[in-house]
């Protein structure tokens, strides 16, 4: 059997300590189980659709902004660096990072909020739980099982948050949310790699879209430190290159901080197995307090000045309206969905129908949702 865990830290996720797949499968000759998970994710329909899903800007607004696909690739690249530096399982980290947004609706967080509101009486909608649903149920690719039949460790990493109510229905996977246990280190890395990626690429996208000014950015401690260093060394650098250079250094600083602070935490706790990681009261993968504070500051700055900017808000209000309208239309006319969905929608009561509609809408790309809205209204 192919392993990619030889030589890794004893508390890294490994094939030999894996809790396995829901449907047991024979091992492959040339790939480890976590490589196999990553490959299944890359081949999935939901992954391909990420290219036409919004991160902050609606996909057709400009082709130089991040989409959920390029975001996911940036997350994976940061995650792999951290995993490798800490002697952890790089393939598993990569798989989790690539899959973390598979359940995202069209139109970014506005779409998710609208769909959640539509689903209020039917169990709600949460993109994180939906990512798990995509890999467990919705992808239809294999003869022997529904979904992608990923390993427990990859699924554990995909499910970042979960309400107690949902956790109770998820068996072993939900257990840590009820008992306040932690996921493996690879999942913890993927979680923070996501935060590092969006904080930094949103500064870049926000600046290029003229939503954020250099003056505003220079009031952020994390930005200002690198800006001053770059500016004093290269006083004549034009703004475009200067911004890139600053962001490059910001990423380097937080990633280095994350690796070194986590290494120190591991040395303090001295875990001997992945079980020692899971039984910790708090995650071991963490920034130092100083970086955590600056990182949080930058995040709330982006929240105030970019995600709630009038230009973005005009777009997100429209997006919310489209999701609401589509949901209502399919509830009244399920036959407007493709046959595989409308057939499933008819198999139960209102809650079943609503869930099928949520699955259908969540799977849409931005442009498909817009086209459907134009077709049906």
Token pair of 11, please?
């508390």
Number of C-beta neighbours around residue 85 at 10 A: 17
Cα R_g (the chain), whole angstroms: 21
**What angle separates helix 185-208 from helix 289-302, to the nearest 10 degrees?**
40
**Closest residue by Cα to residue 323 from 51, 134, 108:** 108
Least separation in angstroms between CB 251 and Mg ion: 15
In the complex, the residues that contact Mg ion under the rule CB under 5 A are 101, 194
Residue closer to Mg ion by CB (options 100, 309) is: 100
Helices (H), the chain: 33-42, 45-49, 68-85, 90-99, 108-118, 127-133, 152-158, 164-168, 175-179, 185-208, 214-217, 221-233, 239-269, 274-278, 289-302, 310-332, 339-345, 350-362, 366-376
Residue closer to Mg ion by CB (options 191, 226) is: 191
Residue closer to Mg ion by CB (options 103, 174) is: 103
In this structure, are residues 31 and 40 in contact, taking their beta carbons and an 8 Å threshold?
no
Least separation in angstroms between CB 101 and Mg ion: 5
Residue closer to Mg ion by CB (options 37, 101) is: 101
Least separation in angstroms between CB 28 and Mg ion: 29
Residue closer to Mg ion by CB (options 15, 194) is: 194
Least separation in angstroms between CB 8 and Mg ion: 26
Residue closer to Mg ion by CB (options 158, 250) is: 158
Least separation in angstroms between CB 182 and Mg ion: 20
Residue closer to Mg ion by CB (options 101, 136) is: 101
What residues contact residue 353 under an 8 Å CB cut-off, 6+ apart? 331, 334, 345, 346
**What angle separates helix 221-233 from helix 289-302, to the nearest 10 degrees?**
100
Question: What residue number has its CB nearest to Mg ion?
Answer: 194
Query: How many angstroms separate the Cα of 100 from the Cα of each of 89, 127, 147, 155, 277?
Result: 17, 9, 15, 10, 21
Least separation in angstroms between CB 65 and Mg ion: 15
Least separation in angstroms between CB 195 and Mg ion: 8
Residue closer to Mg ion by CB (options 33, 194) is: 194
Number of C-beta neighbours around residue 270 at 10 A: 8
Residue closer to Mg ion by CB (options 169, 303) is: 303
Distance CA 350, CA 121 (A): 10
Least separation in angstroms between CB 127 and Mg ion: 9
Residue with tokens 């950015």: 217
CA count, 13 A, side-chain hemisphere, 203 = 33
């Amino acid at each position: 059997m192919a392993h990619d865990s030889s030589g890794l830290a004893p508390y890294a996720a490994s094939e030999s300590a894996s809790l396995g797949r829901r449907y047991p499968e024979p091992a492959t000759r040339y790939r480890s189980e976590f490589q196999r998970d990553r490959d299944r994710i890359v081949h999935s329909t939901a992954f391909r659709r990420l290219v036409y899903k919004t991160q902050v800007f609606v996909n057709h607004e400009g082709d130089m902004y991040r989409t959920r696909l390029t975001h996911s690739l940036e997350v994976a690249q940061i995650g792999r660096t951290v995993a490798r530096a800490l002697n952890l399982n790089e393939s598993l980290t990569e798989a989790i990072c690539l899959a973390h947004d598979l359940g995202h609706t069209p139109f970014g967080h506005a779409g998710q909020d609208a769909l959640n509101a539509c689903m209020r009486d039917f169990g709600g909608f949460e993109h994180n739980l939906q990512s798990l649903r995509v890999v467990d149920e919705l992808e239809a690719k294999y003869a022997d099982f529904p979904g992608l039949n990923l390993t427990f460790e990859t699924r554990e990493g995909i499910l970042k948050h979960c309400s107690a109510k949902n956790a109770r229905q998820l068996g072993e996977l939900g257990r840590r949310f009820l008992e306040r246990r932690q996921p493996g280190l690879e999942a913890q890395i993927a979680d923070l790699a996501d935060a590092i990626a969006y904080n930094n690429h949103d500064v870049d996208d926000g600046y290029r879209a003229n939503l954020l000014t250099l003056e505003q950015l220079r009031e952020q401690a994390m930005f200002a430190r690198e800006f001053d260093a770059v500016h004093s060394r290269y006083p004549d650098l034009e703004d475009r290159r200067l911004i890139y250079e600053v962001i490059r250094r910001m990423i380097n600083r937080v990633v280095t901080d994350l690796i070194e602070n986590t290494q120190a935490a591991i040395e303090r706790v001295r875990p001997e197995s992945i079980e020692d990681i899971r039984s910790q009261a708090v995650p071991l993968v963490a920034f130092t307090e100083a970086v955590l504070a600056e990182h949080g500051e930058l995040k709330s700055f982006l929240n105030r000045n970019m995600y709630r900017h009038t230009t973005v808000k005009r777009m997100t209000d429209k997006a919310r309206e489209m999701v609401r309208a589509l949901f209502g239309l399919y509830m009244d006319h399920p036959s407007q969905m493709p046959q595989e969905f409308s057939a499933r929608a008819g198999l139960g009561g209102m809650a079943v129908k609503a869930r099928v509609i949520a699955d259908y809408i969540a799977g849409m790309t931005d442009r498909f949702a817009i086209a459907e809205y134009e077709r049906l209204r």
